[in-house]
Structure 1
Amino acid sequence: MNDRISPTICSNSSDASRVRVKKLVVSGMLTALTVALSGFSIPVGASKCFPIQHLANVLAGVFLGPVYGVSMAFSASLIRNLMGTGSLLAFPGSMAGAFLGACLFQKTRKLLPAYLGEVIGTGLIGGLLCYPVAALLMGKDVAVFFFVAPFFMSTLAGTILAAVLLAMLRRLGLFSYFERLINE
């Protein structure tokens, strides 16, 4: 009796597993990069502007999709908070931007919507979501739109860095190579 399973029977499930593992590894690498560079922040008002998080959000959104992008943003925010280099405000800002940027890229397959999704998701939606976090969990008395401007500046800086990096990858022919490498 033959105990081996035919490769043709398993090819779809093993291919899907391989892609999931690749995406998990890349997500972990982006999380590690984000945490390792968490010392690079710019204080603006009551929040810390952290452009590396937004750079990673765009890369995760473009190469990994919304589930892995949001998971990476959450993991990086959690680790940064545990290390004392982040605040509770990192969660709503980074996760909203990662989600919207990834969804828009997935829908259009264009980079500009991904950039706009990160900026609007973090700068506007994330900035507004920080109000209840600051008021209820941190005990801060701030206006509803208090975090929008600093989050917008932070995400704009990180998104510009991501746009420059992705433009260089495209020119070098590495953008499509990375997409194939992760998704095959």
Structure 2
Amino acid sequence: MNINYKSKKLAIVTVMVALDTILSSIFRIEGMAPMSSVMNIIAGVILGPVYAVVMAFITGIIRMFIFGIPPLALTGAIFGAFSAGFLYRYGGNIYWSMFGEFLGTGIVGSVISVPVMILFTGQHHELYWLVYTPRFIGATVIGSIIAYFILVNFMKIRLFRQIQNIFAR
């Protein structure tokens, strides 16, 4: 891989981090971040699982330190980004990426958020999962629907397909 492709990958990941940071902070429902799910699915489709996780991790760290978001910014996003990219790569279509986001963020991320928030808050509630799982699932459903419509239109753009090919190398 030559320096040109590495630079292009870095630039695209940087743009995705910026978009995810801003959009998930602006278009937010209390306790839910559906735009983070949108960006995870788009990143999974464009970047693949590894770079999608990098994008989600960097975005989560930025959101935690700048906007004061709890560690939930990491627990949901990382698993959702990985599974969205992984299932897109091996399933071959947007629906698999949407399912990956649902599975990674909505189920795995919400379950892992329970012990993380117990450590973060110092409070132990057995029913934390009743708080996080519905919110995470709701955000992934809303985000998946939005991402679907965005990606269907993006797939018609030649530049978008070229960007996908950069990450397929």
Normalised to the residue count of structure 1, the TM-score between the two structures is 0.82
Q: Distance in 1 between matches of 2:155 and 2:8?
A: 21
Contact kept in structure 2, 1:122 and 1:152, CA below 8 Å = yes
Q: 1:39 aligns with which of 23, 26, 44?
A: 26
Q: CA deviation at 1:60?
A: 0.9
- Deviation, 1:95, is 0.4
- Name the % identity: 30
| Distance in 2 (alpha carbons) for counterparts of 1:34 and 1:172 | 21
Aligned residue in 2 for 1:71:
54
Moved over 3 A (4+): 171-175, 180-184
RMSD: 1.9
2:136 alignment counterpart: 151
Distance 1:104 1:20 in 2: 24
Match of 1:10 in 2: none
User: What is the aligned residue count?
Assistant: 166
Change (3 A) 1:139 1:39: farther
Q: Which residue of structure 2 lines up, in the alignment, with residue 117 of structure 1? A: 100
Q: Decide which of 76, 87, 94 is 2:70's aligned counterpart.
A: 87
What's the counterpart of residue 97 of structure 1? 80
Is the CA contact (8 Å cut-off) linking 1:22 and 1:182 kept in structure 2?
A: no
**Which structure: greater helix fraction?**
2
Structure 2, unaligned runs of 5 or more: none
What amino acid is aligned across from residue 96 of structure 1 in structure 2? F
How far 1:156 sits from its partner (Å)?
Answer: 1.3
Task: Give the equivalent residue in structure 2 for 1:22.
Answer: 8
Q: TM-score normalised to the size of structure 2?
A: 0.88
Which of 38, 59, 64 aligns to 1:55? It is 38
Letter in 2 for 1:65: G
Distance, in Å, in 2 between the alignment partners of 1:69 and 1:182 is 11
1:128–1:144 contact (8 Å) kept in structure 2 = no
Distance 1:85 1:41 in 2: 14
